[in-house]
């Protein structure tokens, strides 16, 4: 497995799962970047999102584990109950510290740590959700030269998160769901 020199981040909460599943369904058979997803979910419920999507889509979709290398052509989900961070040696680390924006995993934590390591090779998407988690992280991705995309609030099931992202960033791209899906279907 080859280390990913590019990373795509997706952050979402309430109302984002349907879009996430659709964009994963539209991925090409192989792609260069690693894709890392923070989806707010309760650690007390074993959803097995990764296993069910991996089986259904026949792809490398896994829960990120501590010290695992970040590889091309893989989709990683932040495990419930842990903050997911990117380390300088292109591995993940897990952290059980306090909730941020009422969330653990926090979108901001992943976005901020990935921005510092991947810089211009980092693309971050912020989707539907009911709090402002991810907005500050988007700004850091932007500040480090990465690309940021916010789901059009008019198409988000819950607009709070995309609106917070728009307020926090300087020059966000605001895309409709069809544009987001098209981006993922054209990855190489």
Active site residues: 13, 40, 133
CA distance 121 to 130: 28
**Residue 115: its H or E element:** helix 107-118
Query: Number of H helices and number of E strands within the chain?
Result: 6, 9
The answer to whether 137 touches 124, Cβ cutoff 8 Å, is yes
Q: Please, which residues bridge with residue 173 across strands?
A: 149
Instruction: Please state, in angstroms and as integers, the Cα–Cα distance from residue 128 to each residue in 40, 131, 133, following that order.
Output: 11, 9, 11
CA distance 185 to 188: 9
The pair phi, psi for residue 51, each rounded to 5°, is -65, -45
What six digits make up the tokens of 58? 């026949």
């Amino acid at each position: 497995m080859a280390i990913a020199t590019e990373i795509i981040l997706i952050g979402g909460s309430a109302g984002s799962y349907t879009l996430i599943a659709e964009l994963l369904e539209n991925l090409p058979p192989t792609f260069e970047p690693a894709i890392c997803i923070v989806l707010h979910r309760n650690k007390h419920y074993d959803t097995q999102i990764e296993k069910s999507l991996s089986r259904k889509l026949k792809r490398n979709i896994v829960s990120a584990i501590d010290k695992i290398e970040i590889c091309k052509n893989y989709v990683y989900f932040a495990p419930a109950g842990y903050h997911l961070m990117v380390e300088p040696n292109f591995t993940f680390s897990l952290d059980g510290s306090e909730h941020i924006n009422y969330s653990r995993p926090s979108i901001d934590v992943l976005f901020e740590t990935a921005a510092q390591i991947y810089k211009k090779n980092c693309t971050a998407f912020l989707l539907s959700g009911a709090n402002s988690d991810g907005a500050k992280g988007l700004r850091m991705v932007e500040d480090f030269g990465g690309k940021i995309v916010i789901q059009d609030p008019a198409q988000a099931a819950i607009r709070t998160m995309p609106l917070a992202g728009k307020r926090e960033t300087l020059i966000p791209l605001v895309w409709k769901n069809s544009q987001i899906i098209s981006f993922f279907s054209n990855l190489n």
